[in-house]
Amino acid sequence: MNIRTACFGVLALAVFSGTAFAGALDSPKMMEPFFTDSGMKTMKSDDEMKAAWAAMSADDQAMMMKECQDAAMSKPYAPFCEKLKALGGANK
């Protein structure tokens, strides 16, 4: 296999499954309920975060917690993941 074929394959994979590379923590749709601003810099109060967590499906909760437990994935989201764990998310 030559380099051009390999590069084309990687490009095709990225184009056709681009959203598959993004995780729950990278998804604005998943994260917006936990933040007060559109830039997602300020987290909501504990009570509001707990309510947002409870409103999520069990599958979405599991996906978020799995990513929070992955050291490489959670590093940019460390304060958020710590807050979820403190609110009982780790027990889900």
- Is the pLDDT assigned to residue 89 strictly greater than 80? no
Instruction: Give pLDDT tens digits for 40-84.
Output: 899 999 999 999 999 999 999 999 999 999 888 888 999 999 998
Burial class of residue 64 in the structure, from the number of CB atoms within 10 Å of its CB (0-12 exposed, 13-18 middle, 19+ buried): buried
- Is the pLDDT assigned to residue 1 strictly greater than 80? no
Enter the pTM of the model. 0.68
- Is the pLDDT assigned to residue 92 strictly greater than 70? no
d(CA 53, CA 34): 8
CB 18 within 8 A of CB 10: no
Return the structure tokens found at 91: 């027990």
Q: Is the dihedral of CA 75, 77, 83, 86 positive or negative?
A: negative
- Is the pLDDT assigned to residue 30 strictly greater than 80? yes
